[in-house]
Structure 1
Amino acid sequence: MSDLRPRRPTIVDVAAAAGVSKSLVSLALRGDPGVGAATRERIRASAEALGYRSNALARALVQGRTGQLGVVVTDLTNPYHADVALGVEEAATRHGLGALIAHGRRDPDRLATHLEAMLSLNVDGLVVVSSRVEPEVLVTCARQVPVVVVGRPEELPAGVDAVANHDAAGARRAVAHLAELGHREIGFVTTSRRPAARARHEGYADALVELDLGAERTWTVDGPEQVGVALAELLAAGCTAVLANNDLTAVALLDHAHDAGLELPGGLSVVGYDDTRLATTVRPRLTSLDQGGAALGAAAVELLGERDAGRREDRHVVLEPTLRARASTGPPSPRG
């Protein structure tokens, strides 16, 4: 039986169709300035007519580069992580690069497996949008390609760059905003015990002291499904406002508050963190700290470029968040 699979056109076929040598086709297709305009156009037209596409893998073997960045994300279902990944992809495109994206599902082993797979594909650099990758895994990767972590891991080993948001400063801005509206009893609800959430809690607690507000009231729960319990307790404690560790937690608070018949924001003001698309789609629209997910991703690509250009010292870039005030915060309603 004959092989019915179509034969993929090769560079030899393009050379024959254009009446030039194989080496001249190679020079023309990679944009070498030594090829005349008329010849280049003839080669391009022949390649297009034949349906020829250059073999990226073969080119990578020759040049030692693939023009691809690997992006491994903790949780693509979290809009913030998706925003960072999109920022990496857009910045990579501006630099003439592609981006391969993998979803770690909050599992350190799965994240490590994806990173190993990216390295096997000879990516030119890695962006790790996660604080859950073990330090030894990051070190192994950094010995082969530039690596940037977006976020706050428990430990960042030498040889790895990082981009993060100033979490404590963002939390202080949130508390100051609520204080300006007249709130004095402000709670903090978190569904995470990771370094970023801890830094946000620290900023919250510091701001209460700096502004001479009420006592610290913090609830740490294991997920959005437990936020209703925290809401009942913070209301019983007299809180009129709450800062959540991220937008997902804040939206869960709004949802439970609505079910409880609370007036929003008079009965409870809610501030989120990340300023994801959720913030402008829920009602009331969510006040949130914008840590610039796309900007974090773009900064990571810039750091990869610096490493590739020869920088040897580590860089840890911290971006300042911006408060986006919306309808979920307002003055507290008088209590009778």
Structure 2
Amino acid sequence: MGDGDPVRHRNGANKRPRLEDVAARVGLSTASVSLVLRGVAGPSERTRQRVLRAAADLGYQVDRTASVLASRRSRLLGVMIDIYSPFHAELVDHLHVAAEEVGYDLVLSTLTRTRDEHTAVETLLAYRSEALILLGPTAPAATLAALDRKSPVIAVGRRISDAALDVVRTADDDGVGQIVDHLVGLGHRAITYVDGGKGVIATDRRRGYRTAMRRHGLDEHISVLRGDHTEAAGERAAGQLLEAGDLPTAVVAFNDQCAIGVLAALTRAGVEIPGRVSVVGYDDDTHSRLSCFNLTTVSQGAEAQARHAVTAAVERLDQDRTEPREVVLTPRLVLRGTTAKPV
């Protein structure tokens, strides 16, 4: 039987390789092999490479369920995500990398049309998540604080001013302020904002728009249209502007999805972007970077947020940190092809 062949029963049938098979391949005890596969310090680098090579050759995979049951620690970080958010998907990608680097893995639980935050969080707890990383939670601060008493909570993307929680976010009001500054610098005055609906994140971004407009002496041009985080909301808002017949020279949307909806509706109506109307989003998600959109937007620093969130969880779990911490990152304006001087 060659090195790459599967382990077989006496009757020739394939079977799942066991820890004992890896140990026999390298001539070590199962205890030593287990240390290597669990990433525990002790075995030499040469031994570690031999074990990992043998495990790969045999197709051995750690039985995570058995490992969790045999330990008091699951080393799992529970992550709640909105299944419809491209930005959340990017955050999860970076969270996986950051977690693996410190010996943790992720359990994901999604928000959908029929699955709310309570259900998503209960699922994470049922899978023995040691800490909860909640992306853009909307639950009241008191609810999140009560949850934190069960398992450390790290809220990502949302300001929480009235509860002692770990928070990782960007300064959303500053991000929208950068957008308005950029547009005013190009010569725009009639700048409309498509709102993000209810919630703290939407409130902060709306405030950033109003504050920046007033700072530039454009109070009379402040215009906020009802919206939310979806492309459909952006299309509806653009429809309102088209019906009114007096288009602004620039539209700022709550997020990239909403901005793409604005782009789609205006383009269908024959409005040149950015010649007639400049459009800006927020998040710098993967869709905004596509050449068909090439959307000017604001980056929240997804990788940095993910790393800070994992660091906060590990500090709570492994370093006994009890004092809550808020990390506020500075957003960054990303200039692409949807903004220009007004005609």
Pick from 105, 114, 117 the counterpart of residue 111 of structure 1: 117
Question: Is the partner of 1:273 in helix, strand or coil?
Answer: coil
Specify the code of the residue in structure 2 equivalent to 1:261: G
Q: Distance in 1 between matches of 2:55 and 2:287?
A: 46
1:63 aligns with 2:71: yes
Specify the code of the residue in structure 2 equivalent to 1:226: R
Pick from 285, 295, 304 the counterpart of residue 295 of structure 1: 304
Q: Distance in 2 between matches of 1:37 and 1:331?
A: 59
Greater alpha carbon shift after TM alignment, 276-285 vs 122-131: 276-285
Specify the code of the residue in structure 1 equivalent to 2:89: A
Deviations 1:280-333 (A, max 9, x none): 215452110111123212211111111121111111111111001111111111
Greater alpha carbon shift after TM alignment, 273-282 vs 14-23: 14-23
Residue aligning to 1:285: 294
Cα drift, residue 204 of structure 1: 0.9
Question: Is the partner of 2:217 in helix, strand or coil?
Answer: coil
CA spacing shift, 1:212–1:7, aligned 2, 3 Å: same
Q: Distance in 2 between matches of 1:64 and 1:224?
A: 48
Residue aligning to 2:224: 218
Do 1:70 and 1:118's aligned partners in 2 also have CA atoms closer than 8 Å? yes
Q: Distance in 2 between matches of 1:291 and 1:46?
A: 42
Residue aligning to 1:126: 132
Cα drift, residue 12 of structure 1: 6.1
Specify the code of the residue in structure 2 equivalent to 1:211: H
Do 2:108 and 2:124's aligned partners in 1 also have CA atoms closer than 8 Å? no
TM normalised by structure 1 equals 0.83
Cα drift, residue 191 of structure 1: 4.0
Pick from 196, 199, 217 the counterpart of residue 201 of structure 2: 196
Residue aligning to 1:316: 326
Pick from 73, 78, 81 the counterpart of residue 85 of structure 2: 78
CA spacing shift, 1:332–1:9, aligned 2, 3 Å: closer
1:91-240 correspondence to structure 2 within 5 Å = 91-105=98-112, 110-135=116-141, 138-152=144-158, 157-158=163-164, 160-213=165-218, 214-221=220-227, 223-232=233-242, 236=246, 239-240=248-249
Q: Distance in 1 between matches of 2:95 and 2:49?
A: 34
CA spacing shift, 1:34–1:274, aligned 2, 3 Å: closer
Greater alpha carbon shift after TM alignment, 319-328 vs 149-158: 149-158
Q: Distance in 1 between matches of 2:201 and 2:105?
A: 29
Residue aligning to 1:250: 259
Specify the code of the residue in structure 2 equivalent to 1:278: H
Cα drift, residue 139 of structure 1: 3.9
Residue aligning to 1:327: 337
Unmatched 5+ residue regions in structure 1?
A: none
Do 2:109 and 2:123's aligned partners in 1 also have CA atoms closer than 8 Å? no
Specify the code of the residue in structure 2 equivalent to 1:67: R
Deviations 1:228-249 (A, max 9, x none): 333326752x521111111111
CA spacing shift, 1:48–1:79, aligned 2, 3 Å: closer
Identity of aligned residues (%): 34
Do 1:131 and 1:153's aligned partners in 2 also have CA atoms closer than 8 Å? no
Unmatched 5+ residue regions in structure 2?
A: 1-12
Specify the code of the residue in structure 1 equivalent to 2:280: V
Deviations 1:123-163 (A, max 9, x none): 232211132235465345423332211122677633x3111
Q: Distance in 1 between matches of 2:203 and 2:225?
A: 12
Pick from 306, 319, 323 the counterpart of residue 315 of structure 2: 306
Specify the code of the residue in structure 2 equivalent to 1:258: T
CA spacing shift, 1:240–1:48, aligned 2, 3 Å: closer
Residue aligning to 1:272: 281
TM normalised by structure 2 equals 0.81
